[in-house]
Structure 1
Amino acid sequence: MSVLAAKGFRAAGVVAGIKSTGKRDVTVVVNDGPSAAAAAVFTSNRCQANPVIWSIEAIADGTASAITLNSGGANCYTGQFGYETTERTAQRTAELLDLQPSDVLVCSTGLIGAGDEIFRAKSLAGVEAAVNELGSDETSAHNAAEGILTTDSHEKLSQRQGAGGYVIGGMAKGAGMLAPGLATMLVVITTDADLEHAALDRALRAATAVTFDRVDSDGCMSTNDTVALMASGASGITPDEAEFTSQLIEVCAELAKQLQQDAEGASHDITITTVGAASVEDAVAVSRAVSRSNLFKAAIFGNDPNWGRVLAAAGTTDAIFEPQELDVTINGVMVCKAGTPYEPVDRVDLIPRETTVLIDLHAGECEGTILTNDLTHDYVHENSAYSS
């Protein structure tokens, strides 16, 4: 049940009319405790939406008892009026749940510039409706996950059980603008483990750094990205921090993979791994450079194993390597060895959706992986008409 798999939480997702589709578009998740410890990471985009600005301040004390999310309007670049909308959303949530506004995180997703009087009225009405429908059953969990979707084709859910029986559950939304710094789109993770803010913060940052921060579908970073982790402590279990972090990484990795697989218009899910690097940073830099090459992404869309585009992208980085020592393997076929052609490219089968690219720098022992997608006609069409 994702965010309701852990004890101590209630949630709901309702139709507030923000979307023109008539689908659920406001979600509330509540932590009933006994603990209210929380942590969150946000987009590193300097142009941040009003909910991000609010939530950064709200989480500063390391606690959060509720999170309110809406889809259908980003409430970004909507001026002071937009910030007041976020503030009123937190205030109304707090009033209904007998909390302080600073106990409430707020998230929005949708079109930048959307957030007028109608948006405000529907958002606030949606909060009231969601609080009235709060539950802890599977239907409530499903409705909550549905209420945060925009161009997604389905909900993204994950959960794990840790040593002793504590649970971590999460839900995510995201199908475009997947190139974050610390977070990807909107993600809510809950746990009934009993951990303080500092431990949650360390675990969350460790997890997002190797999962959500490694999803780079289209090189475009959102203004609204938020990953929030709330701990109710309801299991009474205080897990080993390393073990908890490991479980949290698994939850985040599964959600990140689902984000990749639902990327707008994609026909190939591409896993790019760079090995033999002098540092993890070098490995990630090379993999990310390839993932952001439109020439490479277009080639994969056309089922063309053009490994020259991989090398060209790697060469734009500052990573340590000798250009004439690079190896490239695509879907198990080493098409380039020591900077020269090797196995025939016609042996590479690019018909399957899952695509792997392995780059060996022969410069060290480190590696790093980036998840991306191909560049398709459908992606261009969907984003050419996003605001119309």
Structure 2
Amino acid sequence: MSVTAASGFAAAGVAAGLKSSGKRDLAVVQNLGPLNAAAAVFTTNRCKANPVLWSEQVITDGVVSAIVLNSGGANCYTGTRGFQTTHETAEAVAERLAISAGDVLVCSTGLIGEQLDLDLLKVGVWDATLAIATGDAESEAAGLAAAEAIMTTDTRAKQAAYTSPAGWTVGGMAKGAGMLAPGLATMLVVITTDAVLDSKQLDTALRHATRVTFDRLDSDGCMSTNDTVALLGSGASEVRADLDEFTVALTGVCRDLAEQLQADAEGASHDIAIEVVDAATEDDAVTVGRAVARSNLFKAAVFGNDPNWGRVLAAVGTTDAEFDPYGIDVAINGVQVCTAGEPDQPRELVDLTPRAVHVLIDLHAGDRAATILTNDLTHDYVHENSAYAS
């Protein structure tokens, strides 16, 4: 199901002691080849963590042999010492796997502004690489252990996989429960494939896939400093994939992971899909959907099972999208509550007791559409994030 679903990959997840809970907190995924093709996208937050700064340089030649990920600390705003920690972590992985440190991506997640313990990281790298060398590191269990090691406030590991009739596979793992907002990538995601594709092809497919999946998950409007989505290609299937077919498959795996992230968002009691149709452009549809997704008034109303469609229109009106403000239709969970900017069916007919909520906004301005995924705003979300560092 996970990063080991595709052939040519080994993984391990171990407890390095970075988390006080004693749970797994460090993972290594190794590309066993024969290819070492790769692509990655990162947060567009200008305030980037040290692992992102490192990995942006690593990916420039499209060659990645391994990726090391830790939870228990973001290694962001930790100065030159923090960057050196990133560098030495990559070197430790490289030494153990007999590869170049310049071919090792590094990812971290956790609290900003706290130094990571380099000694613990190195112990974790030793244990993880030992497990890869001596254990059943290409098994489903190994993939699950890696997925568990990158969790922070997640309540469960996120994994997905797809096998093409042509004989190649895409597998992936993700972490994320808070700070779910777009910026080319969201959260930490590692995707593997054994299809024969070069780095340029992987990059093209990845950018398409993230644009319509992770980039449209906007749980709380907060963009992380550490967001990374990496795609590694081993070519171990020896099957050259059709790029269009591969892109569709990759997009499906990314959508699966994005929906799992949405369903595990911090404190959420409703999963909300905001579908915007008949927009003048796709960008307009995204802009409108995102404005509604980021409306705390709307999200609080959904938490209270209140189908307050006026808050939907108020959010739409803050955008620069093309539409007639008095020609918009809104339906919530199948009930047409607003037509042409006027009340339609009574809002009391809307049932918001199920977890799934669907909001349909028709702009009547064109033929483009987009869907944004978000969650409601709950007491639990506020509590979890007010106590995150305590």
Q: Same fold judged by TM-score > 0.5?
A: yes
Structure 1 counterpart SS, 2:245: helix
Structure 1 partner of 2:235: 233
Check whether the contact 1:187–1:226 (CA below 8 A) recurs between aligned residues. Answer: yes
Mapped partners of 2:223, 2:366: distance in 1: 30
- Provide the residue aligned with 2:110 in structure 1: 110
SS at the partner of 2:153?
Answer: coil
Deviations 1:277-302 (A, max 9, x none): 00000000000000000000000000
TM superposition shift of 1:125: 1.0
SS across alignment from 1:259 = helix
SS at match of 2:151: coil
Tell me the secondary structure at the aligned position of residue 76 of structure 1. coil
- 2:313 is matched with which residue? 311
User: Partner amino acid for 1:122?
Assistant: L
1:120 is matched with 118
- Specify the alignment match of 1:256 in structure 2: 258
Structure 2 CA distance for aligned equivalents of residues 114 and 283 of structure 1:
39
Structure 2: distance between partners of 1:226 and 1:70:
13
Indicate the SS of the match to 2:3.
helix
Matching residue of 1:65? 65
The match for 2:94 is: 94
Alpha-carbon deviation of 1:163?
3.7
Paired residue secondary structure (1:24): coil
Q: Which residue of 2 aligns with 1:158?
A: 160
Q: Give the corresponding residue for 2:32.
A: 32
1:352-371 pair list within 5 angstroms: 352-371=354-373
Q: Report if the CA contact (8 A) 1:163-1:239 is conserved.
A: no
CA distance in 2, matches of 1:310, 1:264: 23
CA distance in 2, matches of 1:244, 1:101: 29
CA displacement at 1:270 relative to structure 2: 0.2
Question: SS where residue 323 of structure 1 aligns?
Answer: coil
In the alignment, residue 143 of structure 1 is paired with which amino acid?
A
2:130 alignment counterpart: 132
Q: Residues 8-62 of structure 1, C-alpha deviation per residue, up to 9 Å, x if partnerless?
A: 0000000001001111000000000000000000000000000000000001000
Distance 2:171 2:281 in 1: 32
**Counterpart amino acid of 1:331?**
N
Q: Say whether residues 1:325 and 2:323 are aligned partners.
A: no
- Quick one: distance in 1 between partners of 2:373 and 2:19? 30
Q: Runs in 1 of length 4+ with deviation above 6 angstroms?
A: none
Alpha-carbon separation, structure 1, partners of 2:66 and 2:22: 25
Q: Deviations over 1:304-331 (max 9, x none)?
A: 0000000000000000000010000000
Q: Which moved more, 1:27-36 or 1:180-189?
A: 180-189
Whole-Å separation in 2 of the counterparts to 1:174 and 1:65: 24
The residue that corresponds to 1:384 in the other structure is 386
- Structure 1 counterpart of 2:259, one-letter code: K
Consecutive unaligned residues in structure 1, runs of 5 or more: none
Structural mapping, 1:19-58, within 5 Å = 19-58=19-58
**Kept after mapping to 2: 8 A contact 1:54/1:105:** yes
Between the aligned partners of 2:114 and 2:239, the Cα distance in structure 1 is: 43
| Identity of matched residues, % | 65
The aligned counterpart of 1:207 is: 209
Equivalence for 2:295: 293
Residues 63-91 of structure 1 show CA distances to partners (whole Å, capped at 9, x for unaligned) of: 10100000010000000000000000000
Provide the C-alpha distance between the structure 1 equivalents of 2:114 and 2:34, rounded to a whole number of angstroms.
37
* Contact 1:178/1:221 (8 A) holds in 2: yes
Q: Distance in 2 between matches of 1:102 and 1:193?
A: 23
Equivalent residue of 2:170, what SS? Answer: strand
Give 3-state SS (helix, strand or coil) of 2:258's partner. helix
Residues 214 and 371, structure 1, Cα contact 8 Å, conserved in 2: yes
* Equivalent residue, structure 1, for 2:188: 186
Report deviation, 1:258: 0.3
* Deviation, structure 1 residue 121: 1.3
SS at 2:326 equivalent: helix
Alpha-carbon distance between aligned partners in 1 of 2:126 and 2:141, rounded to the nearest angstrom: 18
Structure 2 match to 1:346: 348
Rounded Cα–Cα distance in structure 2 between residues aligned with 1:4 and 1:345? 48
Over the aligned positions, Cα root-mean-square deviation in angstroms equals 0.6
Distance in 1, Cα, partners of 2:352 & 2:166: 44
Equivalent residue, structure 1, for 2:276: 274
Q: State the AA in 2 paired with 1:71.
A: S
SS at match of 1:2: coil
Equivalent residue, structure 2, for 1:7: 7
Q: Deviations over 1:231-279 (max 9, x none)?
A: 0000001111000000000000000000000000000000001001000
Match of 2:16 in 1: 16
Number of residue pairs aligned between Structure 1 and Structure 2? 386
Q: 2 CA distance for matches of 1:163 and 1:367?
A: 30
TM-score if structure 1 supplies the norm length? 0.99
User: d(CA) in 2 for partners of 1:267 and 1:148?
Assistant: 24
The code of the aligned residue for 1:100 comes to: S
